[in-house]
């Protein structure tokens, strides 16, 4: 009887473990998706911020504000400093997502519309998956790669068509931003497997303070500041929403479901950005947007089901 009872209990334990794993993956997907929503507002919020701040001032102040929030959280919870072996990875995260991507995209948005700049996030999922394969050793299936390439192609075709097929000088900023951000995402996703995701971005922000504080002092002395409702709202969102809270849930989601699958959720980001651009900036929504959205959503569904 005892043997029979044990045999009966084992499948229940296995089913429970499977349900827990499935639930964790589902919650990870939700967190990564929340990160994408937060990121989709970054370009419109940056455009608002540029109404009252110079590009260098906006970049430096947003990083300092995000670092202040992260620092308070780290101190309040008495989080011990990361191990020495993690500092290099945190430096890559800081260089990519704290400094590099905000700097390059903000400079690009001075002369580019948010719709055109969306080409960066259209290519970002594929680039992140490629760097993940090189850095972390992930090996997604052929189906995954086919869907990822198809989704990236749809987004690229859409954004290039909207720009008239001609690339501008701002594209140098955008493509450079693509590479540094993908590197930061990849390294952050790897670190989030060994420490909480919010600590990854928190320590990266704090690590950048020796650069961002002097940058802010110099930039604010040269660039005029005009405080308006749009400028302040845009600054607060890119600092707290995009730079800290968005990255917290993003890295947690990447740790739960894997870097390649999480990165493919970002295929929806350019289209969400276009929606916000219409609602918040009054930009014209192209007729091709719904068709591209449908194609991208299909690709996302395939990548999420494909085995890595």
Q: Cβ distance 132 to 184 under 8 Å?
A: no
pTM, two decimal places: 0.79
Residue 8: pLDDT over 50: no
Q: How many CA atoms lie within 13 A of 128 on its CB side?
A: 32
Predicted confidence (pLDDT) per residue in 221-272, tens digit? 999 999 999 999 999 999 999 888 888 888 888 888 887 778 778 778 888 8
Predicted confidence (pLDDT) per residue in 108-148, tens digit? 888 877 877 877 777 787 787 778 777 777 777 888 888 88
Q: Cβ distance 62 to 207 under 8 Å?
A: no
Residue 121 token pair: 């996030």
- The one-character DSSP state at 286 is P
Predicted local distance difference test score (pLDDT) of residue 1: 45
If 0-12 CB within 10 Å is exposed, 13-18 middle and 19+ buried, where does residue 210 land?
A: exposed
Predicted local distance difference test score (pLDDT) of residue 17: 42
E strands, 79-120, where?
none
Please give the average per-residue pLDDT across 159-168, as a whole number: 69
Sequence-separated (6 or more) residues with CB below 8 Å from residue 202: 70, 71, 73, 74, 79, 244
């Amino acid at each position: 009887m005892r043997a029979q009872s044990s045999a009966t209990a084992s499948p229940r334990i296995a089913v429970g473990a499977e349900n827990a794993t499935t639930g964790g993956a589902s919650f990870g997907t939700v967190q990564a998706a929340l990160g994408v929503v937060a990121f989709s507002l970054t370009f419109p919020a940056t455009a608002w911020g540029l109404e009252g701040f110079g590009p260098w001032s906006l970049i430096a102040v947003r990083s300092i504000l995000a670092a202040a929030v992260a620092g308070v959280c780290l101190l309040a919870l008495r989080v011990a400093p990361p191990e020495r072996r993690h500092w290099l990875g945190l430096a890559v995260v800081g260089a990519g997502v704290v400094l590099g991507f905000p700097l390059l995209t903000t400079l690009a948005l001075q002369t580019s519309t948010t719709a055109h700049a969306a080409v960066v996030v259209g290519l970002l999922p594929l680039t992140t998956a490629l760097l993940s394969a090189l850095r972390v050793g992930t090996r997604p299936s052929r189906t995954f790669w086919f869907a990822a390439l198809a989704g990236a192609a749809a987004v690229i075709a859409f954004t290039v068509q909207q720009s008239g097929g001609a690339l501008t000088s701002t594209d140098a900023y955008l493509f450079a931003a693509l590479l540094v951000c993908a590197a930061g995402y990849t390294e952050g996703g790897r670190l989030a497997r060994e420490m909480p995701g919010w600590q990854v971005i928190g320590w990266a922000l704090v690590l950048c303070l020796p650069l961002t504080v002097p940058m802010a002092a110099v930039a604010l002395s040269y660039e005029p500041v005009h405080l308006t409702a749009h400028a302040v709202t845009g600054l607060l969102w890119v600092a707290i929403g995009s730079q800290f809270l968005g990255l917290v849930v993003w890295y947690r989601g990447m740790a739960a479901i894997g870097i390649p699958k999480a990165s493919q959720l970002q295929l929806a980001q350019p289209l969400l950005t276009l929606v916000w651009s219409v609602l918040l900036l009054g930009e014209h929504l192209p007729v091709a947007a719904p068709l591209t959205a449908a194609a991208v959503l299909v690709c996302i569904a395939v990548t999420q089901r494909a085995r890595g």
